[in-house]
Amino acid sequence: MGAATLQQLGDRISTCQERAEQCREAAASEVDERVRQQLLDLEQHWQQLAESYQYVESLERLLLDQRPLPPEVDKLPKDYPPE
């Protein structure tokens, strides 16, 4: 994955956060308690999805930032550590 994929993740995070905000705003003006609760539940689902994408994004950044292993690692026995 590269910068393009990170941009796509960023776009998805923004979209989810926007949808969560839309649900929150709609709930604020909803008079039917049942519908208001459904909107608040949807807000939570959108927020959780955004957080999931943020977690994936952080893992991608971690992988992209990884430094190559030092050459000494190749000298370790292949069955290390012993079982």
For 72, half-sphere exposure in the C-beta direction (CA atoms, 13 angstrom radius) is 1
pTM of the model: 0.71
Q: Please, is 30 exposed, middle or buried when counting C-beta atoms within 10 Å of its C-beta (0-12, 13-18, 19+)?
A: middle
Torsion of CA 16, 22, 27, 31, to 10 degrees: -150
Neighbours of 6 (CB within 10 A): 15
Q: Each residue of 17-38: pLDDT tens digit?
A: 999 999 999 999 999 999 999 9
Give pLDDT, residue 63: 81
